[in-house]
Amino acid sequence: MHAFYNQVHDFCQMMQEEVARQWDAMPGKEVSASTALAFSEKFLLCPTTESARLCIQHDFPGALSFVLALEGVNQRLQKGSLQLSTEWPKYQTRFYILSCTVREYIDSLQVGEHSLS
């Protein structure tokens, strides 16, 4: 669980920096579960913090959707309706646990639900 929250912390710091940099230039793209899932799949493959930062920069709308999905994860954790896995592969990418957890949350949403808000 500690690794999950470390990854959340690092991701949120990168997002704060990127929000400050890109907010005014952001296209009016709607956030959605499918956008968050697509971002999650790319983010999962980032081996380093720098590659994750570039992933956020290149898919800022996807990263914003990912943030909203992460809020859904947080709400379920607080309610006790989501338990984090205690078994993870020994070798993993930098944001593997975070990406997998968000992906599992998105997969759990009802079929046909497209909005994260």
**Residue 52: what pLDDT?**
97
pLDDT at 7: 95
Q: Per this entry, what is the length of the chain?
A: 117
Query: Residue 86: what pLDDT?
Result: 73
Which residue numbers in the chain have pLDDT < 70?
A: 1, 25-29, 110-117
Closest to 66 measured CA to CA, from 51, 81, 55? 55
pLDDT for the residue 27? 61
Q: What is the pLDDT at residue 94? A: 92
Pick from 105, 12, 99, 52: which is nearest to 116 by CA?
105
68 within 8 A of 116, measured Cβ to Cβ: yes
pLDDT (tens digit per residue) in 39-48: 999 999 999 9
